[in-house]
Amino acid sequence: MEENYSQKIRQVGDKIWAASRNELYVAMRYLDVALSSLTYVMTDGTETFGTDGKCLYYDGEYLMNLFEADRIRINRGYLHLLFHCIYRHPFKEGTREKRIWNLSCDVAVEALLDENPKRQYRIVVSGIRRTLYQKLKAESKVLTAEGIYRYFQRHPQDPVQLMVYEREFCVDDHHFWYREDDRQPNLPQMMNQRWKDISERMQTEMETMQKGIGQDEEGLLESVRAENRERYDYREFLRKFAVMREEVQVDLDSFDYIFYTYGLSMYGNMPFIEPQESKDVKKIEEFVIAIDTSISCSRELICAFLGQTYEILKNSESFHRKINLHIIQCDDQIREDHVITKSDEMLDYIDQFEIRHSGGTDFRPVFAYVEELIEAHQFTQLKGLIYFTDGCGIYPKKKPDYDVAFVFMQEEYTDVGVPAWAIKLVLEPEQLVEEAGEKSCLQADSRERMERKTI
């Protein structure tokens, strides 16, 4: 008898989710693949509903009660689960505080749904939501889970306020995301790739039918584009500006070990072939970093960017011992040109860094200034210029003789007008300062430098 009752609840539950899926499909056809990607599973493992990227798990009685009370909440809950997967929230590993990360993911999804309302899932936006959205947008242009998490880290909330936010934004059960240690995501990389493919297909379909989508959905499209942008390793990216140079060092790859050992075996200490005493290596020697110091760029992000660059400068396998690095501060004109000749000089520069700005952003003066330096023979083989900016400015029309890369922070990202000949790199702040490891390294170097000065 009890088994038959459970079977009936399961059948009703599956029908409720199927009806919700069909209703959302009519309103948002670009979600067709996503809406068909979750298998419905009734379980006692949750009191509400949740997903692991493969199945939609739900409690049968909770779903039926919610259906009787407010069908809109079911549609919204379905979308909430889907956008967690589309933005790959369940698959993102890290050493984040679990409670704050879960809340950040929920706020990011709910903000997206509130900003792109449709009658199928529209709710009344409460004062709590509006107030938090205003605070978040004052610090970040795009509301991502990572950006919201950083906001909560910078502005710790008391336990009562956290509970208020959780009651307001938490919709689903996130325990399906995690391993037994309750900290790291539980889901395989293959599932992550599957939802990445779904997200990219969704973006393509939205772009194809862009004229047919509503104005409210433009924000959704931009959000999906931002999530699907390629992420790069900044270390590997900087190596694009390396040049070949000959260095004095034993080249163990330049001789044949067979003849070498044969000579030793025949004559004792007389190898047939000696290794070369120099070798060609590809290292970074000259480049320019231009820093957009207009009002919109913060000192915190600029120092993080320079700090990560310093970590690469320290690596003797990537940089020549003597370098020629120009760090140019600029907004609508050149404010400062600081020359770095040794990697250790970067620490002093970061410690004493001050933003020098007064106006908006115009990228052209930097390129004109670099051309003057080249004509004055300040560079012998300039490989490239890296421009750290928020993207809001006037770009040059002509491509220079060296490579140019515009580096944007994801939370401050605006790339309208970037020339086709320029490299475009979008970073997340976590990519610049890799948590405690590199921070402690910088602090240790700073202490060592201070001790040397004291002595």
SS3 332: coil
pTM of the model: 0.68
- Provide the pLDDT for residue 440: 38
Q: How far is CA 189 from CA 98, 195, 390, 426, 430, in A?
A: 20, 10, 32, 22, 20
Within a 13 Å sphere around the CA of 440, how many CA atoms are in the beta-carbon half?
Answer: 3
- Provide the pLDDT for residue 256: 59
Alpha-carbon distance of 303 to 420, in angstroms, equals 28
Residue in the structure block whose two tokens are 């390396």: 242
Q: Which residues lie across from 388 on neighbouring strands?
A: 291, 407
The pLDDT tens digits along the chain (455 residues) read 567 888 899 999 999 999 999 999 988 888 989 999 999 999 988 999 999 999 999 999 999 999 999 989 999 999 999 999 999 998 887 778 899 999 999 999 999 999 888 888 989 999 999 999 999 988 777 788 888 998 999 899 999 999 999 999 999 999 999 866 555 565 667 888 899 899 888 888 888 776 656 666 777 777 787 777 766 666 666 766 655 444 444 555 555 566 667 666 776 666 555 555 545 444 567 889 998 876 556 677 788 778 877 776 666 455 556 778 899 988 888 888 999 887 778 888 888 888 776 667 788 999 999 999 999 988 887 878 988 887 677 888 888 988 888 887 655 555 557 888 888 877 765 555 443 334 434 444 444 444 444 43
Alpha-carbon distance of 34 to 53, in angstroms, equals 10
Contact 57, 45 (CB under 8 A): yes
- Provide the pLDDT for residue 185: 62
Alpha-carbon distance of 51 to 65, in angstroms, equals 20
Nearest CA among 310, 404, 413, 409 for reference residue 366: 404
Contact 325, 339 (CB under 8 A): yes
Which helix (DSSP H) or strand (DSSP E) does residue 158 occupy? none
Q: How far is CA 375 from CA 318, 326, 364, 371, 382, in A?
A: 27, 15, 17, 6, 12
Alpha-carbon distance of 407 to 415, in angstroms, equals 10
Alpha-carbon distance of 297 to 103, in angstroms, equals 27
Contact 366, 385 (CB under 8 A): yes
From the CB of residue 294, how many other CB atoms can be counted at a distance below 10 Å?
20
Nearest CA among 238, 226, 250, 247 for reference residue 308: 238
**Phi, then psi, of 243 in degrees rounded to 5:** -130, 160
Instruction: Return the sign of the alpha-carbon dihedral for residues 113, 116, 118, 124.
Output: positive
Question: Going by C-beta distance under 8 Å and a sequence separation of 6 or more, which residues neighbour residue 316?
Answer: none
Alpha-carbon distance of 112 to 354, in angstroms, equals 36
Helices (H), 171-321: 189-208, 218-228, 234-238, 257-267, 299-313
Contact 395, 294 (CB under 8 A): no
Instruction: Return the sign of the alpha-carbon dihedral for residues 90, 95, 98, 100.
Output: negative
Which DSSP string do the residues of 169-190 spell out, in sequence order? H--S-GGGGB-TTSSSB-S-HH
Alpha-carbon distance of 54 to 74, in angstroms, equals 19
- Provide the pLDDT for residue 132: 95
